[in-house]
């Protein structure tokens, strides 16, 4: 019997924003199944540590620093990856930047920075990696969007706008890449606990809006990335996979508190 994800072994993947959180978990997960991982971030120390942890687990990884805000840096990242491995098969765009300000307080510089790193970088990564994927007969891209791509919360205009734009950019790249056997998908996480406990314990009251009553873990997003890059998702492209513990499935109109305080059909207290 074939080993799970055997088709990914030896394939080259760039993971942006891979020094910590979802990006780091994704890089480690892909390295564990035998992919050759390019760990990208602007945080060199943490990025090297992630790459070293993959190698320590008998995987293959290299750290390449590049700023997702700059076109020349993205182009260099892809070029160096091609020079190092002779191919580029996949890319996972996890890098992000945001700030909590409404549109009045948000500066134009901050708007441009957020849009560049979260949205424009995805376009540029596709621009420079897709020719490599065409050369090897196809490939895959996964963009980490957010449930914020579907709705808004106070004081995050650039984050919400970029994540929403990323969803339609994903669809567009899927349409254009499909004839070349390039699949492009997005993942929309809910609240993911990217910092370790105990200092980052979630407020139980905040978790009441999640049917699963807990935050997600970076590894759970990494599992979804692995699935979308694998042959198990061979007929999935242009899709936004929501991984949010049920957050977007449940109405948040104020009536949910009453339902949450009642007994479930299973006879247990929520």
> What is the per-residue pLDDT across 26-71, written as a single tens digit (0 to 9) for each?
999 999 999 999 999 999 999 999 999 999 999 999 999 999 999 9
Residue with tokens 């914020």: 148
- Residue 173 host element (H or E): helix 157-177
Q: Are 68 and 117 in contact (CB under 8 A)?
A: yes
Q: Which residue would you say has higher pLDDT here, 230 or 248?
A: 230
CA distance 132 to 84: 13
CA distance 252 to 109: 33
Strand 36-41 and strand 60-65: the pairing is: parallel
What is the predicted pLDDT for the residue at 213?
85
CA distance 46 to 266: 45
Confidence of residue 264 (pLDDT cuts 50, 70, 90): very low
Closest to 240 (Cα-Cα) out of 142, 125, 94: 142
What is the predicted pLDDT for the residue at 247?
87
Residues designated as active site = 159
| % of the chain exceeding 70 in pLDDT | 90
Mean pLDDT is lowest, of 4-13, 187-196, 202-211, for 202-211
Confidence of residue 269 (pLDDT cuts 50, 70, 90): very low
What is the predicted pLDDT for the residue at 2?
62
Confidence of residue 250 (pLDDT cuts 50, 70, 90): confident
pLDDT digits (tens, 9 = 90+) for 133-176: 999 999 999 999 999 999 999 999 999 999 999 999 999 999 99
15: which strand partners? Answer: 39, 92
Torsion of CA 77, 83, 86, 89, to 10 degrees: 0
Residue with tokens 């873990």: 217
What is the predicted pLDDT for the residue at 201?
66
What is the predicted pLDDT for the residue at 254?
56
Supply the pTM of this predicted model.
0.90
């Amino acid at each position: 019997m074939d080993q799970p994800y055997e088709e990914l072994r030896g394939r080259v993947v760039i993971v942006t924003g891979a020094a910590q959180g979802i990006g780091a978990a994704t890089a480690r997960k892909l390295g564990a199944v035998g992919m050759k991982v390019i760990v990208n971030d602007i945080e060199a120390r943490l990025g090297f540590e992630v790459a070293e942890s993959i190698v320590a687990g008998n995987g293959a990884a290299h750290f390449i620093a590049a700023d997702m805000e700059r076109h020349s840096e993205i182009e260099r990242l892809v070029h160096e990856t091609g020079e190092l491995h002779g191919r580029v098969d996949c890319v996972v765009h996890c890098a992000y930047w945001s700030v909590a300000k409404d549109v009045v307080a948000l500066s134009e510089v901050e708007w441009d920075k957020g849009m560049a790193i979260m949205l424009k970088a995805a376009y540029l990564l596709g621009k420079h990696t897709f020719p490599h994927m065409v050369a090897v007969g196809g490939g895959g891209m996964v963009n980490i969007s957010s449930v914020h791509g579907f709705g808004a919360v106070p004081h995050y205009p650039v984050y919400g706008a970029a994540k929403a734009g990323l969803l339609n950019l994903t669809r567009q790249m899927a349409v254009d890449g499909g004839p070349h056997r390039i699949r492009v998908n997005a993942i929309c996480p809910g609240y993911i606990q990217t910092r370790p406990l105990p200092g980052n314990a979630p407020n139980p009251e905040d978790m009441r809006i999640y049917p699963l009553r807990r935050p997600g873990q970076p590894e759970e997003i990494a599992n979804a990335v692995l699935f979308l890059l694998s042959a198990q998702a061979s007929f999935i492209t242009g899709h936004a996979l929501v991984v949010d513990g049920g957050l977007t499935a449940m109405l948040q109109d104020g009536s949910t508190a009453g339902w949450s305080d009642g007994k479930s059909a299973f006879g247990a207290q929520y």
